[in-house]
Amino acid sequence: MQAQCNLANKQCKPCEGGVPPLTKAEATDLLQQLDGWDQHGTVIDKTFEFKIYYLTIAFVNAVAWLSHREDHHPDLLVEYNKCRVAYTTHAIQGLSENDFICAAKVDALFKI
């Protein structure tokens, strides 16, 4: 889990395109540093579960704040007691290190 901590301590870098997405090997290596995230093509995602709706919404709001701070925004699917968080870097139509940095930060947020 030391690697995850390192990812969570990094800051996202602006990505306006013009750079290649991560290779499959690079993405696989970074994915192994996360807990419970899955890769589906050019997206990584994880579903977080909660006891009640209020906690789900509090988590969603915290993820929104974190996303604004990092300027890297996930797709969120919100249900009564769970939230699916999905990252991809639209500007490069693939995965970037930013996706994995934010995933690690969301994991750290969930543990608070």
Residue-wise pLDDT tens digits, 70-87: 999 999 999 999 999 999
The backbone torsions φ and ψ at residue 69, rounded to the nearest 5 degrees and listed phi first, read -65, -40
pLDDT at 10: 85
Domains of the chain (ranges, CATH numbers): 2-10+23-110 (3.30.1360.20)
Q: How confident is the model at residue 5 (pLDDT cuts 50, 70, 90)?
A: low
3-state DSSP helix/strand/coil % of the chain, to nearest 5: 45, 20, 35
CA 81 remoteness from chain centre? 19
DSSP 90: G
Q: Which residues contact 33 (CB under 8 A, 6 or more apart)?
A: 3, 4, 6, 7, 100, 104
Residue type, 38: D
pTM equals 0.90
Q: What is the mean pLDDT of residues 96-109?
A: 95
- Tell me the per-residue pLDDT of 83-99, one tens digit each, with 9 for 90 and over: 999 999 999 999 999 99
